[in-house]
Structure 1
Amino acid sequence: MSRSRAATLRDIDEAALGLPEVTREPETGGRPVFKVRGKTFAFARDPRKDAFDPETGEPYDDVLAFSCTAEDKESMVSNPDSPWFTTPHWNGYNAVLLLERDLGRLTVDELREVVTDAWLAKAPKRLAQQLLGGS
């Protein structure tokens, strides 16, 4: 299986559930929330009025959120060609947003990196060090 193919929703599940101590709510189906030791690091967001289609004014119903560092957020959302975005509601939060419909703009490898970085942003330091091979 080529990991350079376009990413899908299933790839989020596989990437997240492949990391240590991750839980998914609900366990199958539905709009997932991924947690490490009770801390959310990635989730499918319910529609909100702050993230909307500029053409129709309708709230997006396919927003995904991923934790990140402030530096990564700035880098990810500053490129106008990037699928990543933020809204004023997310000012001050270290997280980026992505529309499910834009998942195909990422490769599996790119998505796996974002999911792993999101996990690292919320995982306890010792658990993160174990994943990274540190002591």
Structure 2
Amino acid sequence: MRRSPRLARIDDVHRLALAMPHVTVSPGTQNRPVYLVGGRSFVFFRNPRPDAFDPETGQRFDDVIVIWVPDEGDKLAMVQDDSSPFFTTPHFDGHLSVLLRASRVGEVTVDELAEVIQDAWLSRASRRRSEAWLREHRPGWDRVR
């Protein structure tokens, strides 16, 4: 994938998720897309829920994207910094995912977003599919495991 310092846009979320192999898209509830690999979601646009809201107004966020992560360490690294656009809520304790508001996608570069979405796909794809993708896109990955 071409390296780009450009800040990400919401259409990049869709484009990057669809660029991964074996992806299907479900319309989800309220026509909020769910990107799946092998029937397992790896990125989805969430309906407004009571656990993600504006602390000043109490209004539920209507633009939350759920992105799977490989493990709890990755999740913590992404959400610990208060300036990070990635966050979590108590509802997602123990769930290997981070949340990102669509309105904050532009706080990460396309390259950063691509890495997060690729890792999400890798965490949900079958071992065979993951290893095939890694051989092609991250040469030498098997020597550092």
| 1:97 counterpart = 2:119 | no
Aligned to 2:57: 56
RMSD of Structure 2 on Structure 1 (CA): 1.8
Aligned to 1:47: 48
Alignment identity in percent? 45
Q: Displacement, 1:2?
A: 7.0
Structure 1 pair 20/62, CA: closer, same or farther in 2 (3 Å)?
Answer: same
Q: TM-score if structure 2 supplies the norm length?
A: 0.87
Runs of 4+ displaced beyond 2 Å: none
Q: Displacement, 1:129?
A: 0.1
Q: Deviations over 1:79-102 (max 9, x none)?
A: 111111000000010000011000
Q: Deviations over 1:3-24 (max 9, x none)?
A: 2111111111111111110011
SS in 1 for 2:24: strand
Partner Cα separation in structure 2 for residue 8 and residue 62 of structure 1: 13
User: For residues 1-135 of structure 1, what are the structure 2 equivalents within 5 Å?
Assistant: 3-26=4-27, 30-68=31-69, 69-133=71-135
* Structure 1 spans left out of the alignment, 5+ residues: none
Larger mean CA deviation between 37-46 and 1-10 belongs to: 1-10
Verify the 8 A CA contact 2:64 2:100 in the aligned structure 1. Answer: yes
* Structure 2 spans left out of the alignment, 5+ residues: 136-140
SS in 2 for 1:42: strand
Q: TM-score if structure 1 supplies the norm length?
A: 0.93
Verify the 8 A CA contact 2:3 2:111 in the aligned structure 1. Answer: no
Aligned residue-pair number: 133
Q: Deviations over 1:14-38 (max 9, x none)?
A: 1111111001123xxx421100010
Partner amino acid, structure 1, of 2:97: A
SS in 2 for 1:23: strand
